Amino acid sequence: MSELNNQNEEVISNERFDTYPASKRKDRLFVIDRMRCKGCSICVSVCPYDALFMSKKKSTNGFIYPIENGACKACKKCLYACPDFALSIHKVEEVNK
């Protein structure tokens, strides 16, 4: 499954994860684990960049989940707020190894 965010950057998705380019230099990847997310939307409310919104689709677990809109600056506030540990940020070079 692949879709485009508002910045027309490709979102890489599989059955469990959505991966978005993040930070000003796009040297980080913002990852959403749809299987862990319970749809609480705390991440959306704490994001200072309004980079997240809740999907209208449901995961295979039956919960809505966040989608990144291209504005993520990799500040990690959503990661720290997520009670389900459904969000993560990784350096691109680490993922490519």
Q: Residue 3's pLDDT band (boundaries 50, 70, 90)?
A: very low
User: Sign of dihedral through CA atoms 51, 54, 57, 58?
Assistant: positive
CATH topology of domain 2-92: Alpha-Beta Plaits (3.30.70)
Non-local (6+) Cβ contacts of 47 within 8 A are 77, 78
Amino acid letter at 88? S
pLDDT digits (tens, 9 = 90+) for 55-69: 999 999 999 999 999
Tokens 């998705």, located at residue: 13
User: Sign of dihedral through CA atoms 44, 46, 47, 49?
Assistant: positive
Q: How far apart are CA 64 and CA 40, in angstroms?
A: 9
8 vs 58, residue with greater confidence: 58
32, 18 contact by CB (below 8 A):
yes
pTM higher than the cut 0.85: no
Residue spans per domain, the chain: 2-92
- The pLDDT score that the predictor gives to residue 1 is 36
